[in-house]
């Protein structure tokens, strides 16, 4: 069930996915020294633990803001420390829950593929988790055009059609 993830707007799906990928990568890399010596089973076990940690150890305050014209999740504390101005800043307790749930859903849905990806490399840095998880597997960070390239069954065109119908319906109301 990917209900929280699916309910996010597209930009936030991509942001949640990147956040998940970065978190997993950070955890997996803590053991990069032992990586070569480990069996596939040991690697898999550590990747599963990393998936769990990435989703449970979220920033204290999660916000959303607009970065390069896209809405993204952010670590409010880190952003404040960095300073500067942010547009479209939004804060609510719900955001942390949303991000955590979306992360868990991605981990549950694609965890075994991520495990396989990590098990297939000699060094954890060689596995491009962000590209794999956020483009290949979930499609969260593909923009409309790219999404339709893989669209063998033509559903992409239908979703565009549905969007147009929504716009028309909104205009008429």
Which tens digit of pLDDT belongs to each residue from 99-109? 999 999 999 99
pLDDT bracket for residue 83 (50, 70, 90) = confident
Residue 94 to residues 17, 54, 64, 69, 166, Cα–Cα distance (Å): 17, 18, 11, 23, 27
In a 10 Å sphere around its CB, with 0-12 CB exposed, 13-18 middle and 19+ buried, how is residue 153 labelled? exposed
Residue 165 is predicted with a pLDDT of 54
Closest CA to 58 of 93, 26, 28, 23: 23
**CA pair distance 82, 92, nearest whole angstrom:** 20
Residue 30 is predicted with a pLDDT of 92
Which single residue is written with the structure tokens 């896209």?
Answer: 70
pTM of the model: 0.79
Contacts of 146 (CB under 8 A, 6+ apart): 135
């Amino acid at each position: 069930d990917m209900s929280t993830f699916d309910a996010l707007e597209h930009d936030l799906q991509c942001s949640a996915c990147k956040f998940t990928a970065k978190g997993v990568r950070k955890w997996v890399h803590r053991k990069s020294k032992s990586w070569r010596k480990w069996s596939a089973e040991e690697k898999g076990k550590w990747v599963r633990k990393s998936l769990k940690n990435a989703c449970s150890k979220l920033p204290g305050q999660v916000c959303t803001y607009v970065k390069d014209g896209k809405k993204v999740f952010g670590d409010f504390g880190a952003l404040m420390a960095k300073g500067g101005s942010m547009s479209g800043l939004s804060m609510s307790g719900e955001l942390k829950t949303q991000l955590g749930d979306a992360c868990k859903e991605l981990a549950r849905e694609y965890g075994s593929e991520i495990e396989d990806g990590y098990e297939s490399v000699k060094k954890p840095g060689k596995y491009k988790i962000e590209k794999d998880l956020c483009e290949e597997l979930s499609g969260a960070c593909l923009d409309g055009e790219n999404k339709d390239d893989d669209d063998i069954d033509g559903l992409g065109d239908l979703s565009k059609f549905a969007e147009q119908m929504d716009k028309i319906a909104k205009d008429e109301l």
